[in-house]
Amino acid sequence: MEKRGNVWISAVIYIALGIIAITILISAGIPLVGKVRDRNTFQQTKELMHEIDGAIQEVLSEGPGSRRYLSPVIINQGELYIRGEPSGGDNAIIWLMETKAMLLEPNVVIHEGNLKLGLTEDPILVDNYIVNITMDYFSVKEIDIDIADEDKEAMKGKNSISVTNAGVWGSESSVTVLRIDVI
| Contact call for residues 62 and 77 (beta carbons, < 8 A) | no
Q: What is the mean pLDDT of residues 170-176?
A: 64
Q: What is the pTM of this model?
A: 0.78
Condensed to tens digits (0 to 9), the pLDDT of residues 58-108 reads 888 888 888 999 888 888 899 988 876 655 557 788 899 999 888 888 889
Please list the residues that pair with 176 across neighbouring strands.
143, 168
Domain span at residue 49? 2-182
| Contact call for residues 73 and 88 (beta carbons, < 8 A) | no
Q: CA separation (Å) from 87 to 62, 99, 146, 165, 182?
A: 22, 35, 10, 16, 21
In this predicted structure, what is the pLDDT of residue 42? 93
Mean pLDDT, the chain, integer: 83
| Contact call for residues 38 and 100 (beta carbons, < 8 A) | yes
Q: Higher model confidence: residue 14 or residue 123?
A: 14
- How far is the first Cα of the chain from the last one, in angstroms, to the nearest whole number? 75
Instruction: Quote the distance between the C-alpha of residue 174 and its chain's center.
Output: 32
Taking the C-alpha atoms of residue 64 and residue 165, their distance in angstroms, rounded to an integer, is 5
Taking the C-alpha atoms of residue 40 and residue 46, their distance in angstroms, rounded to an integer, is 10
- Give the count of domains, the chain: 1
